[in-house]
Amino acid sequence: MWPSQRLAPISLKSWQGKAQVRRRDRRTRGIRPIVIQLEERALLSQLPGTWAVIAPLPNDPGGYHAVVTATGPNGLIYAFGGGSPGEVDAYNPTTNAWSVVASSPTGHTCSAAVTGPDGRIYAIGSAIDAYSPITNSWTSLTNQPAWQFAAVMGPDGRIYVIGGGNAQQSITSAVSAYNIATNSWASVASMPTARVEPAATVGINGLIYVMGGYINGSEGAISEVDAYNPATNSWTVMPSLPAARGGLAAVTGPDGLIYAIGGRFGYSDSCYSSEVDTYSSTTNTWSTLASLPTTRELPGAAVGTDGRIYVVGGNLNTSNGQTSEADAYVPMPPYLYKVTPITSWSSPAGIAYGAVLGPTQLDATASVPGTFTYSPPAGTVLHAGANCNLSATFTPTDTADYNVVSLSATINVLKARPTVSWSNPANTVYQ
C-alpha cells in the first residue's frame, strides 16, 4: 500500500479544473494514487480525485470468494459474502463503521447485488433473495442456475443476469431478464462473446455495458466491451478496456463516467490488478484513473448517496485469499445529479440553565463547503429539560451538485442552582 497522507479540508471548487500530480505504477499500469488512511469522521475531509482507505469489513473474510455490494435507500452500503457466504454487513459513511445485519438465506458467492425500484436489495447467486433495509428481513424469490455472471438492474426495472456459466458447467453468452413483479424469467439477445466473471453497469444513456471477463475459466482475460440496448434487444461492440482483465467491478459514477475497477489478467500473484479505468459515453473513449490502494480481484463496488465510489473486499492474490479492506473514491465534480454530502453532529454534552448555546454545542460538520443554520440559534438560553431538541440545516456552497441536508441532535439542560444569600440579622434584646 502506498504511504498514507493526512490532508486538511479544502474547498471542492478549488480542485475543479486543476491537474493532479500523478506517477505511473509499472506493476499495475495505473496511476499512483493519493491515499488517505481514515479515522472516524475523516471522510468529512477527503478530497476529490483521491482514494481513502476506510473501515475494513468487520470479520475476517477468509476463503476465496467475491464480495458484492449495493447501496440501500437509507444511504448504507451493503456487502454480501464478507465473513462467510451468507454474511451481510452494512457500512455507514457518516460514522465510518460497519454493522452486521440479517444473514441471507442463500450463500451468494461470485454473484451480484442490485437495488430495486422498490428499495429492496436483490442478492443474486444460485437463487435470488430480496433484502428489505426497512425490516432487516429477507424474502426468497426464485432459483438462478448461472454462476460467475454479471447482473444489473436495467432501466426497464428488470434484473439482467449476463454470461457466466450455465447448468451444464460451460461458459455462456446467454442473458436472462428477471421480472420482479411477475417473478418470472425471459431470455433476451445473447452478448457477442461468452465469458465468466465480467463486470456490468448501466450507463447514463440507458445502455447496459458489459466489460472484461474470462473466456476460458479463470484464464483468458479479455478487454472486450459490449453494450446492450433493452429497447431494441440488441448488442453493440464498444471500445475495449485499456487492459484485459476479468473479475473486475464496474459502476457508473455521479460524473456520468463508467468505472472499471481492479480485476486479474493472469493466474500468478503478479497478475492481480489495481487499475481503474473510466469510460465516457459522450466521447466514446477510455481513460486511466488513479489506481486502487491495493490490487484486487472480485471486489464489490457501489456508488453511495454521497457520490463516493466504495470498493469492498476482493481477492488479493492466489496465496493470501480475500481481503477485508474497503476504499472510497471521490469523483471530480461537476455531477450529473445531486449527491448528499456527509454530515455529522453528535448530541452535545449537557449544560445548566442560563448557559447560552454556542459553538461548543452547535458544531455540526460536513464533507463539502457550506453553511449551517441552527434552530434555536447561537445565543439562545434553553429552558431546563431532558433531550431538548436542536436542529440544523446545511446548505452547500455548490448547490448544483449537492443536496441541502437537515440534521438533529438533543441536549440535556439541567436546572440551575440558584444563589441564595441571607445575612445574619441584627441582634435583638429579649423582653
Do the domain assignments include residue 334?
no
Do the domain assignments include residue 4?
no
Exposed, middle or buried, 156 (CB in 10 Å: 0-12/13-18/19+)? exposed
Q: How far apart are CA 299 and CA 326, in angstroms?
A: 9
Q: How far apart are CA 260 and CA 248, in angstroms?
A: 7
Same domain, 368 and 242: no
CATH of the domain at 398: 2.60.40
Do the domain assignments include residue 32?
yes
Look up the domain containing 380 and give its range.
343-414
**Residue-level pLDDT at 85:** 61
DSSP string computed for 379-425: T-BPPSEEEEEEEEEEEES-TTTB--EEEEEEEEEEPP------PPP
Same domain, 305 and 396: no
What pTM, to 2 d.p., does this model score?
0.81
400 or 107: which carries more pLDDT confidence? 400
Same domain, 236 and 117: yes
- Domain boundary (329, 352, 369) is at 329
Same domain, 117 and 262: yes
Same domain, 46 and 186: yes
CATH of the domain at 285: 2.120.10.80
- Domain boundary (260, 295, 329) is at 329
84 falls in which pLDDT band (50, 70, 90)? low
Average pLDDT, the chain: 84
Same domain, 392 and 280: no
**Residue-level pLDDT at 377:** 97
Tally of CB atoms within 10 A around 392: 18
- Has residue 250 got a pLDDT over 50? yes
What mean pLDDT is predicted for residues 224-233? 97
Q: How far apart are CA 313 and CA 113, in angstroms?
A: 14
- Has residue 190 got a pLDDT over 90? yes
- Most trustworthy range by pLDDT among 110-119, 127-136, 315-324: 127-136
- Domain boundary (329, 358, 388) is at 329
Q: How far apart are CA 290 and CA 309, in angstroms?
A: 13
Same domain, 131 and 176: yes
- Asked whether 300 and 66 are in contact (CB, 8 A), the reply is yes
Number of domains in the chain: 2
Same domain, 184 and 307: yes
84 or 104: which carries more pLDDT confidence? 104
Give the β-pairing of 51-54 and 35-37. parallel
Please name the amino acid found at residue 101.
Answer: V
In the chain, what percentage of residues exceed pLDDT 70? 84
DSSP state of 340: P
Listed in sequence order, the residues at least 6 apart from 321 whose beta carbon sits closer than 8 Å to its beta carbon are 61, 62, 63, 64, 315
